[in-house]
């Protein structure tokens, strides 16, 4: 293997969710913070929850508010 070709490997990378370590895996970074994981995802838990990451719903509503669809119409 060539030297300095591969990134540093961390066999004990800590995956944290809301400040709590949920698992450890091997990765190229020593720690990862995740916003959603299988223990909190509605598909795996069976609970219905609303997940709004980084204000996506607000951005969508802002983009399509008012007369957005009127702009494309030609009379």
pLDDT along the chain (75 residues), means of 10: 84 90 92 82 68 72 75 58
pLDDT for the residue 14: 94
- Token match 């909190």: residue? 40
The whole-number pLDDT of residue 6 equals 87
pLDDT in the model for residue 29? 93
58 φ, ψ to 5°? -65, -40
The closest alpha carbon to 38, from 23, 56, 55, 50, belongs to: 23
C-alpha angle with apex 15: 12 to 5, nearest 5 degrees? 50
Structure confidence at residue 30 (pLDDT): 93
Question: For the whole model, what pTM was predicted?
Answer: 0.49
pLDDT of residue 39: 76
């Amino acid at each position: 293997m060539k030297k300095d070709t591969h990134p540093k490997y961390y066999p004990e990378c800590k995956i944290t969710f809301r400040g709590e370590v949920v698992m450890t895996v091997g990765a190229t970074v020593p720690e990862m913070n995740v916003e959603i994981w299988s223990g909190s995802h509605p598909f795996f838990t069976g609970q219905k929850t609303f997940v709004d990451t980084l204000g996506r719903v607000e951005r969508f509503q802002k983009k399509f508010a008012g007369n957005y669809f009127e702009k494309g119409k030609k009379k």
